Structure 1
C-alpha cells in the first residue's frame, strides 16, 4: 500500500531536483543520464560543465551553465506551495515510496510529479476514461454513468480535466466514490498545479482536492497550458491505468493518442461504439477495427479486468436521459437529440420542453433538412457535411 503522504524533501535536494528537471534546454533523457551517472540530483548539478558535457551532451551543459529560468525564485515558490498545505500537496521523485510503480513501466516516466489531493489514490487499480472535448449529450451521459459505476466498484478513474468527456468522467467518479466509500478520480493536467485549466473546471478541481480526488502534473508551478504539454500528459494518463476507455473521439483526437500509448504499454483499450452519423464516434470505431474491446456496459470492463461489480448496483446499459447545457453555437434541440433515433417522449424527458413547443421546433428543423422523421414516431438528426 502506498503512503498517504510523501516525506518532505530536504531543501538542498529540492533545489537540485528543480534545477535538473526544469532547466529549459535540458531534456528528460539528458536529465535521466545525469542522474544515472552521478546517483543523485545534488551530485548531478554539482558535477560541473565538463562532466555535464560528457554525460548529457553540449545542449545539456549549456542549459545548466546559463539557466534560462530563475531557479531560486522557483525553489521559493515551490517550497511555499508545499508548506501551505503539507497534508495535500506533495512532490514525488522517482525514488519516493509514493511514486506510482505503474509509471516506472513506461518508456519516459516523469522524474518529478507534483500532487495535490488524496495521495492514497495512487495505490488502487485505475482505469483511464478519455474522449472528445466536443462530446454529445449521450457521450457525456455515458462517461458519467460508466465512471460512477466503475468508481463504486473500486477503480480509480484517471482523466485529463479537459472539457467534455474528461470532466464528465471525473464528476461521475466522485459521485461513485461518495456513494460507495471507495474508488475516486485522478486528473493529470498540462499546467502547473497553482492554476486550473480550463477555468470552467475550477469548482470540479476543488471538489477533487477536497474529496476523493488527486491532481497530478509533471510541470512546474506557473506552467501555462501550452499545446505541447498535453500529448506529454497523455502518456501519464495511459501509464497510470490498467486500461483506457475511449467514450467519444474524432479520428484526429488526443484521446486516440492516449489509447495508442496504452496499447504500447501493454494495457487494455476499450471503446464505446456510437452512431455511424456521429463524427465523434469515428475514433472509437477505428479503435474497435484495430482491436480495441467493444464495451456496452461498465460490467464488460470489470469482467475483462477481473473485478467484481459493486453490490446491488446495476451497470449502465445506455446513456441516461439527463439535461445538459448545449454548446452556444448549436441549436439546443439538436444537442439534446444527439445522433441516434429518439422518440418524442424521450426527447421531452431530456429537454424538459413542453410537447407543443417541442413539436413546433422539430417541425422547423425538419423543414430545414436538419432532422428526419422516421417510422415509429422516431426523430433523428440528419448527417451534414
Structure 2
C-alpha cells in the first residue's frame, strides 16, 4: 500500500488538518509509520495536543483498514489522487499558507496551467449572468483555465462560459463522486469530458457540509493567479474567496454594478478596498500578458430566420416568447421554439429562469 493512502486516511480525522499533519510529518515523514503509532507515541512527538493525539489514535484504531478502503473507493469511482510530492500537483497551490496535502480529482490536472478564479452570487441578475458567461468564455479562449466552485448561480455560469472557449476546473466541498448541487451533475461530467477537472481535498463519498465550503474557497483562490468577483452582496461567501486571494498576494478583480442592486454591494466594497475594476476580459488578459483571441461574430453563425430573431433581442433586457412573437413576421413565429433552441445551442442567446431570452454578447 502506497504511503499516500495512509496520508489520505490520516487526514480523515477531523482533529488533524493539513497544518498539523505537516508538522507531524516533519517529525515522522512516513504516513504509514504515523498510522501505526499509539496515542502515547503520538503525544511523544510533541506536535499534537493530548486531545488531538488521543483523537487521532481512536481514528486509527477505529478503522485500521481505512487506507485500503479509500484506495478502493477511488478505483471504483475512477478518481485519481495526488499529494504535494506528485509532479501533477498544481504549482501555485503549493505556495499558499495551508495547501491541501492530498487532492482527489476526475479529469485532467495540469500543474502549470494559467488560471483565474471566477466567483459570485448564487442569486444573480441577468447582468451578472451575462458578465460571468462573457468573461469566462473569452478568458478560456485565450488559454486561461477558469476555476470556480460549481455552486448555483455565477459559479455555474462561469463554468458554462468557459466550456464554450476552453478549460475549466470545478472545486467541490464534497467528494468528487458526488454532484452538488444535484442539478450540476451533467455540468461536472461535461467539465471532465472537455479536458478540465473536478477536484476536492475530500475523499470519495464525503457529503457536502457547511464547514467544508470556506476551506474549499482557499483552493479556488490558491489555484488561480487572480480572482474575479462578478456579483456579490455585502455579506457573501464570494468575498471570503477574494479575501483569501488578497492574503496570498493574488490579484482581485471586481465587476461594477448598479447602485440599486443588492448584488453589487460586495463588488463595490472590494473596489473601494483596492480591487481592480474591470469592464472587459481584455483587461485581465493584459494583466496576465496574454492576448485575446479573435472570435467569430455571433451574427455570422445565424441563418436568415435566426437573424430576424436575433435582431429583435437585446443584451440588456430579456424578452418572453410572446414579446418576441409580437415583433416578428408571421412566417417566422411558427418555428420560433426551434429557432430559439438552435440559437441557444450556438451560444448566441441565453434563456433565463423565467423563460425569457436575450443576446449572449454585447455586440
TM-score normalised per structure 1: 0.75
The CA RMSD over aligned residues, in Å, is 2.5
> Which residue does the alignment assign to 2:322?
354
> Which residue does the alignment assign to 1:279?
262
Unaligned runs of 5+ in 2: 299-311, 328-363
Aligned-partner Cα distance in 1 for 2:62–2:122: 35
Pick one of 104, 113, 126 that aligns with 1:124. 113
Aligned-partner Cα distance in 1 for 2:196–2:315: 34
Pick one of 136, 141, 153 that aligns with 1:147. 136
Pick one of 174, 177, 181 that aligns with 1:194. 177
> Which residue does the alignment assign to 1:33?
23
Q: Deviations over 1:118-157 (max 9, x none)?
A: 123x421100000000011221111011100000000000
Moved more, 135-144 or 69-78: 69-78
Aligned-partner Cα distance in 1 for 2:316–2:258: 21
> Which residue does the alignment assign to 1:327?
none
User: 8 Å contact 2:121–2:263 — kept in the other structure?
Assistant: yes
User: 8 Å contact 2:77–2:177 — kept in the other structure?
Assistant: no
Shift of 1:308: 1.0
Any runs of at least 4 consecutive aligned residues in structure 1 with deviations exceeding 3 A, and if so which? 68-77, 311-315, 344-349, 352-359
> Which residue does the alignment assign to 2:294?
311
> Which residue does the alignment assign to 2:335?
none
* 1:234 counterpart = 2:199: no
Q: How many correspondences in the alignment?
A: 312
Q: Deviations over 1:145-170 (max 9, x none)?
A: 11000000000000000000000000
* 1:61 counterpart = 2:53: yes
Listed as ranges, the matches of 1:216-255 within 5 Å are 216-255=199-238
Shift of 1:42: 1.6
TM-score normalised per structure 2: 0.80
Shift of 1:103: 1.2
User: 8 Å contact 1:17–1:41 — kept in the other structure?
Assistant: yes
Unaligned runs of 5+ in 1: 1-10, 178-183, 316-343, 360-385
Matched residue SS, 2:175: coil
Evaluate the alpha carbon distance shift between residue 348 and residue 254 of structure 1 in structure 2; reply closer, same or farther with a 3 A threshold: closer
Aligned-partner Cα distance in 2 for 1:66–1:39: 21
Shift of 1:74: 4.2
Aligned-partner Cα distance in 1 for 2:57–2:180: 33
Pick one of 256, 262, 272 that aligns with 1:289. 272
> Which residue does the alignment assign to 2:357?
none
Aligned-partner Cα distance in 2 for 1:105–1:198: 30
Matched residue SS, 1:116: strand
